[in-house]
Amino acid sequence: MLTPLAILFPDLRPEIFSIDIGGFTLALRWYALAYIAGFLLGWWIIQRLMARPALWPANTAPMAPAKVEGLLTWVIIGVILGGRLGFVLFYQAGYYLEYPSQILRVWEGGMSFHGGFAGVIVAGLLYCRRHGIPPLQLADAMALVAPIGIGLGRVANFINAELWGRPTLAPWGVIFPGPAAQNCPWDWPSAICARHPTQLYEAALEGAVLFAVLAFLVWRRGALRQPGLVTGAFVAGYGLARFTVEFWRQADAQFITPDNPLGHVLALGPLGVSMGQVLSLPMIVIGLVLIWRARQATRPT
């Protein structure tokens, strides 16, 4: 008996289209399109910000709009390298130590947001050092547009039927194809289980809501005049959103065992903390510190 009022996963495929050329298949995937759209929208918005000196301290933008294109290249490299290495180190270090040749097979999937975030930080700092740009001001511009790419990426996760949530009897639960519908808890009342569509929860919180908050701070509250404030709001906001959604998100397979069916890696009372929450807690703290420092630095004396 199926879960009452559950939603069947729509007929969606990871590939938008594929072309077979001489035995080689060229495909465009939704996940790749999400990355491309996120980068292009972010590039366009940052250019607009740099063309508005009045938004910045002393009515001076940190860089010329023409330099944003060069920044985009550095960010793309940082996201790909950081995201892949983060996934390898945080989630499947044992496997990749045994099979190191698999590390470079990015097209097979396996990216970590926290690793990609670290990669962007490194790339941004190197770009600032090379071009003499104030790091915190550039970080604020990048933080504003980051939720766009994150939100689109989470929608792509849903289309790919991956990173789904824990089983639920809620009427908005989704019956995902494959193992998601079959690997139900032992005391589940049905042979087929619906799951929380946590990809869409994250798309809403980490993407739409977080971008709306940051955009309000930038265009209505003049937040770019306080270097580090937008960056702090993004880091803390993402950490809080991710930490919250993790309560409904299924843990990665390598953390699930018969004795640990929810995939917790630490135990805090009856709830427990997932790897995503462990990595998000420092983000909340760091974000709050950045907000405090930004406000202290611009407070009249």
Residues comprising the binding site?
154
With H, G, I as helix, E, B as strand and everything else as coil, classify residue 154. helix
Residue 34 in contact with residue 153, Cβ under 8 Å? Answer: yes
Q: Does an H or E element contain 104, and which?
A: none
Rounded to 5 degrees, φ, ψ at 35 are -60, -50
Count of CB atoms within 10 A of residue 92's CB?
18
Distance CA 167, CA 188 (A): 9
Six token digits for residue 53: 């000196």
Strands 174-175 vs 24-29: parallel, antiparallel or unpaired: unpaired
Q: Identify any residues that bridge with 273 across adjacent strands, giving them in sequence order.
A: 266
Distance CA 178, CA 7 (A): 15
The angle formed by the CA atoms of residues 223, 227 and 231, to the nearest 5 degrees, is: 75
Q: Identify any residues that bridge with 195 across adjacent strands, giving them in sequence order.
A: 167, 174
Rounded to 5 degrees, φ, ψ at 266 are -135, 155
Distance CA 55, CA 53 (A): 5
Interaxial angle between packed helices 135-159 and 210-219, expressed in degrees from 0 to 180 and rounded to the nearest 10? 150
The angle formed by the CA atoms of residues 184, 185 and 189, to the nearest 5 degrees, is: 80
Can you say how many angstroms the Cα of residue 292 is from the centroid of all Cα atoms in its chain?
24
Rounded to 5 degrees, φ, ψ at 16 are -75, -45
